Amino acid sequence: MADTKAGRRVLVDACILISHLRHGGKPGPTELEQAASRFDDLVITAVTAYEVECGARAAKRGSDLAHILPVFEIVAVTFAEADQAAKVYAEQLRGNMRMSSPDAIVAGTARLHGLPLLTSNLKHFEGIEGLRVAGTTAALLIDEQEHHQSQE
């Protein structure tokens, strides 16, 4: 399969960033590296940056993101994102599903902006209407193809 970009943006969850940061010379590319090679734009929320940096500070390290931050578009949490996150949170509660506030903000942001979400924490985002989520870049690309075919 040719290594062409999907011509899209993808929202990257904190777990994908953390996995990349911990990769430490293991063989093969990380999910983040695969996404960077296949999508035009990698997007994170300001809350995702916060989550990753909290881990670094708690471990008494400097910034974990400073050296890779230029790769990302960072979406601020405005009222629109907060409102969509609150809707996601309420929907999950009505379905007897618990959700953390950071996950609700990530899901709400992805849904609001029509971005697919790349996460290894699939269970955290199960059953959210209007949210395309996958655990691997390959799965996102397959989902993207199917999504476009269903709209034709």
Helix axes 79-94, 101-113, angle to 10 degrees: 110
Q: How confident is the model at residue 97 (pLDDT cuts 50, 70, 90)?
A: confident
Q: How confident is the model at residue 1 (pLDDT cuts 50, 70, 90)?
A: very low
Q: Record the tokens describing residue 78, joined without a space.
A: 């405005």
Q: What is the mean pLDDT of residues 129-143?
A: 80
Q: Domains in the chain, start-ordered, CATH in brackets? A: 9-75+114-151 (3.40.50.1010)
pLDDT of residue 28: 86
Tell me if residue 145 falls in helix, strand or coil.
Answer: helix
pTM: 0.84
Cβ-contact 95, 73 below 8 angstroms: no
Containing 100, the helix (H) or strand (E) segment is: none
Q: How confident is the model at residue 6 (pLDDT cuts 50, 70, 90)?
A: very low
Within 13 Å and on the Cβ side, how many CA atoms surround 58? 6
On the question of pLDDT at 76 being above 90, the answer is: yes
